[in-house]
């Protein structure tokens, strides 16, 4: 027997189906007089099959497909342009339903395939070495818009059926858009969708402490990366202004208490700025800051850009900084910048024309 909704006689409220988790879709189906598996089917079509057109959901009755299309949508970012770097990195310009634009990046062979996605249009953190912060915060992304970037990149790269990593290191501060970010992660890790293992997802934060404390209680736990960039409050107040509210001592105390998987570590990202935070004293202070934390350090020599008032340090200064950490037992790597020639590297994402 076909229900009233499947006959198209019940008006559904306008809804972005891509922003609903599978249990939400199942409950919505039951509430509308449908069997719960109809909600599960819709979820699978969107997040496993990558379908954004209800008419293509062939396992649903035609009347239900028509009703869904009449009263809801699947909000998938629209690809407007892409640029391919000489190293294979690809930057995607994506447009949202309201005309706002964001950028996402595909980084091949890192050693896995990696999608770098955004959580906000712009960013409110105003870090002094990051172009995205120059935009300010225009708005938060929805869970559907965050997870939708992964679907678009998976289709465009042909990796929908392959293993890939996700890093929340694009535009925006993930913990400043906490609820939508975590909902997107639940959608992305659902075994009826893309089923991305949490160990393949890394969330990078500059240190929004209330969000970090909430994250510690989450059942789905991504890898954690802390954007540190300084070893004194005076330095960090300038480079990462959120430090004026949440000081280094508080941040490091929360990191020490953060639950980690067996053999897990917190990654500390440290952008090296010539003659600013790259001295031997800075390196030694960093070692002391990390005491008692299962940590590894990613050093990122600055990606220079117009509008950023800092310079990239020499390789000699970078290597000397790394050597001090390594000599004192800190696991350290120097990240090779990818996509610099198309301004796709860390800190370089900037949409210059926004509506």
In a domain, 276, yes or no: yes
Q: What is the pLDDT of residue 352?
A: 55
Q: Mean per-residue pLDDT for 240-252? A: 97
Tell me the CATH number at 33: 1.10.150.530
CB of 68 within 8 A of CB of 32? no
Closest-CA residue to 129 (of 280, 285, 241)? 241
CB of 271 within 8 A of CB of 235? no
Convert the pLDDT of each residue in 178-197 to its tens digit: 999 999 999 999 999 999 99
Question: What's the pTM?
Answer: 0.91
Same domain assignment for residues 35 and 181: no
Same domain assignment for residues 228 and 243: yes
127 tagged catalytic: no
Structure tokens given for 276: 């600013």
**pLDDT of 8 above 60:** no
**pLDDT of 249 above 90:** yes
Q: What is the pLDDT of residue 31?
A: 81
Pick from 71, 86, 106: which residue ends a domain? 71
Q: What is the pLDDT of residue 340?
A: 62
What is the Cα–Cα distance from 47 to 148, expressed in whole angstroms? 9
Q: Mean per-residue pLDDT for 305-320? A: 92
Q: Which of 116, 123, 255, 346 is catalytic?
A: 346
Structure tokens given for 172: 């925006």
**pLDDT of 277 above 50:** yes
Instruction: Kindly give the pairing relationship between strand 114-116 and strand 101-107.
Output: antiparallel
- % pLDDT > 70, the chain: 91
Alpha helices in the chain (DSSP H): 22-31, 36-47, 62-71, 143-157, 178-189, 209-215, 233-239, 248-257, 280-289, 315-327
Pick from 71, 91, 116: which residue ends a domain? 71
**pLDDT of 70 above 90:** no
Q: What is the pLDDT of residue 345?
A: 52
Same domain assignment for residues 84 and 61: no
**pLDDT of 6 above 80:** no
Q: What is the pLDDT of residue 263?
A: 79
Same domain assignment for residues 317 and 173: yes
Same domain assignment for residues 296 and 329: yes
What is the Cα–Cα distance from 319 to 274, expressed in whole angstroms? 13
Q: What is the pLDDT of residue 347?
A: 52
In a domain, 5, yes or no: no
Q: Which of 6, 21, 26, 103 is catalytic?
A: 103
Closest-CA residue to 19 (of 147, 166, 194, 116)? 147
Confidence of residue 133 (pLDDT cuts 50, 70, 90): confident
Same domain assignment for residues 287 and 321: yes
Pick from 71, 87, 104: which residue ends a domain? 71
What is the Cα–Cα distance from 202 to 117, expressed in whole angstroms? 11
What is the Cα–Cα distance from 239 to 225, expressed in whole angstroms? 17
Same domain assignment for residues 170 and 42: no
Q: Is 347 helix (H, G, I), strand (E, B) or coil?
A: coil
Q: What is the pLDDT of residue 12?
A: 42
In a domain, 275, yes or no: yes
Ordered strands of the 101-107 beta sheet: 78-84, 90-95, 101-107, 114-116, 165-168, 201-205, 223-227, 266-272, 295-301, 331-334
Domain of residue 164: give its range: 78-342
Q: Which of 27-36, 240-249, 265-274, 310-319 has the lowest mean pLDDT?
A: 27-36
Same domain assignment for residues 104 and 239: yes
**pLDDT of 201 above 60:** yes
In a domain, 348, yes or no: no
Phi/psi for 3 (5° steps) reads -75, 170
Same domain assignment for residues 82 and 44: no
Question: How buried is residue 91: exposed, middle or buried, by Cβ count under 10 Å (0-12/13-18/19+)?
Answer: buried
Same domain assignment for residues 143 and 40: no
In a domain, 12, yes or no: no
**pLDDT of 317 above 50:** yes
Q: Mean per-residue pLDDT for 57-76? A: 90
Convert the pLDDT of each residue in 107-122 to its tens digit: 998 778 999 999 999 9
Q: What is the pLDDT of residue 32?
A: 77
CB of 75 within 8 A of CB of 18? yes
In a domain, 290, yes or no: yes
Same domain assignment for residues 88 and 66: no
In a domain, 10, yes or no: no
Tell me the CATH number at 161: 3.20.20.70
In total, how many domains does the chain have? Answer: 2
In a domain, 353, yes or no: no
Same domain assignment for residues 202 and 100: yes
Q: Which of 46-50, 63-67, 239-243 has the lowest mean pLDDT?
A: 63-67
103 tagged catalytic: yes
Q: Is 219 helix (H, G, I), strand (E, B) or coil?
A: coil
């Amino acid at each position: 027997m076909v229900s009233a909704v499947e006959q198209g006689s019940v008006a559904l409220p306008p809804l972005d189906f891509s922003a609903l988790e599978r249990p939400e879709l199942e409950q919505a189906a039951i509430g509308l007089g449908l069997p719960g598996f109809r909600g599960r089917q819709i979820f699978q079509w969107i997040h496993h099959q990558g379908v954004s057109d209800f008419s293509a959901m062939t396992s649903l009755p035609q009347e239900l497909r028509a009703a869904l299309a009449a009263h809801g949508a699947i909000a998938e970012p629209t690809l407007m342009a892409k640029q391919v770097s000489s190293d294979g990195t690809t930057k995607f310009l994506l447009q949202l339903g309201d005309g706002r634009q964001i950028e996402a990046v595909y980084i091949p062979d890192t050693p896995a395939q990696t999608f770098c996605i955004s959580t906000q249009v712009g960013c409110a953190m105003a870090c002094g070495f990051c172009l995205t912060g120059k935009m300010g915060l225009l708005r938060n992304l929805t869970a559907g818009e965050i997870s939708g970037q992964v679907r678009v990149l998976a289709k465009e790269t042909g990796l929908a059926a392959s293993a890939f990593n996700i890093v929340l290191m694009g535009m925006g501060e993930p913990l400043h858009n906490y609820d939508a970010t975590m909902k997107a992660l639940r959608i992305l890790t659902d075994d009826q969708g893309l089923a991305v293992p949490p160990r393949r997802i890394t969330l990078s934060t500059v240190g929004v402490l209330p969000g970090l404390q909430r994250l510690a209680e989450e059942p789905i736990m991504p890898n954690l990366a802390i954007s540190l960039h300084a070893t004194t409050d005076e330095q960090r107040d300038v480079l990462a202004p959120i430090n004026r509210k949440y000081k280094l001592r508080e941040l490091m105390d929360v990191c020490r208490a953060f639950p980690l998987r067996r053999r897990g570590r917190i990654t500390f990202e440290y952008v090296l700025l010539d003659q600013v935070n790259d001295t031997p004293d800075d390196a030694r202070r960093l070692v002391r800051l990390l005491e008692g934390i299962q940590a590894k350090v990613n050093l990122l020599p600055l990606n220079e850009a117009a509008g950023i008032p800092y310079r990239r340090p020499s390789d000699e200064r970078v290597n000397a900084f790394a050597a001090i950490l390594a000599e004192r037992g800190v696991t350290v790597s120097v990240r090779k910048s990818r996509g610099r020639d198309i301004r796709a590297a860390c800190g370089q994402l900037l949409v210059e024309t926004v509506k």
